[in-house]
A = this chain, B = another copy of it.
Amino acid sequence: MREHSDTRARIQEIALRLFTEQGYEGTSLREIAEQLGVTKAALYYHFRTKDDIVASLSEDRHAEMENLIKWAQGRPRGPETRREFVLRYADSLYDSNHHAFMRFMERNQTALRDNPKVARMRDLMKGVMDILCDEGDSTAERLRRSMAIFTLHAAWFVLKDEEVSDEERKDAAVKVALDYVELPPAA
């Protein structure tokens, strides 16, 4: 009945929301189908398996992350690159709805531990850490760098109950994250 089936996109949208709210394992395909107003079988017309929905969701973010990492690898390691990288990472996270996807990933690490796309994402995150850390960094320093990226991800839900605009949220996240890639440890 619908013009030119955007069903696939709507499945992705609903799945991402439910997987994040209730967890991947806690969300059945029946639920997704019901919210969409189709039968379960329709989902299988568009995606081969439940895991496949996740895979499809990963794709954009993968591409974006690969670009970011490639950009950074073409530059000298150091404070300048780190600073700029955090800014670009924040942009790529907030200007699309990629923060929603990253939150979904964080909330479903265990459920998705065997999904190859998710494994790939873990590798990409290691690539990010490589960019932010130098060889001789202390343990505290490495932890600090990790937390910078974590902060960008977390801002969205840590501040979720506060009356704060998306703009403010992003600004706050970037401000805090930048401190942590720039400042030397207190020591």
Residues of chain A whose beta carbon lies under 8 Å from any beta carbon of chain B: 20-23, 25-26, 107-111, 113, 138-140, 142-144, 146-147, 150-151, 154-155, 158-159, 162, 164, 168-169, 171-173, 175-176, 178-180, 182-183, 185-187
A139 to B158, CA, bound (A): 11
**Chain B residue contacts of A151, Cβ below 8 A:** 143, 147
Q: Is the CB of A173 within 8 A of B111?
A: no
Q: In the bound complex, how far is the Cα of B23 from the Cα of A122, in angstroms? A: 17
- B23 with A111: CB separation less than 8 A: yes
The contact sample of 16 A-B pairs, CB cut-off 8 A, is A23-B25, A25-B26, A107-B110, A139-B168, A142-B159, A143-B155, A144-B176, A146-B154, A147-B147, A147-B176, A150-B158, A175-B185, A175-B187, A176-B185, A178-B186, A183-B183
* Top 4 closest pairs, chain A to chain B, by CB: A23-B110, A25-B25, A140-B172, A139-B172
| A155 neighbours in B (Cβ, 8 Å) | 143
Query: Given known contacts A139-B159, A150-B154, what 12 new A-B pairs fall within 8 Å (CB)?
Result: A22-B110, A25-B25, A25-B111, A107-B109, A107-B110, A140-B176, A143-B159, A146-B154, A146-B158, A175-B186, A176-B185, A179-B185
The chain B residue with its CB closest to the CB of A113 is B22
Contact A154 B159 (CB under 8 A): no
Which chain B positions have C-beta within 8 A of A158?
A: 143, 146-147, 150
CB distance from A118 to the nearest CB of B (A): 13
The smallest beta-carbon distance between A143 and chain B, in angstroms, is 5
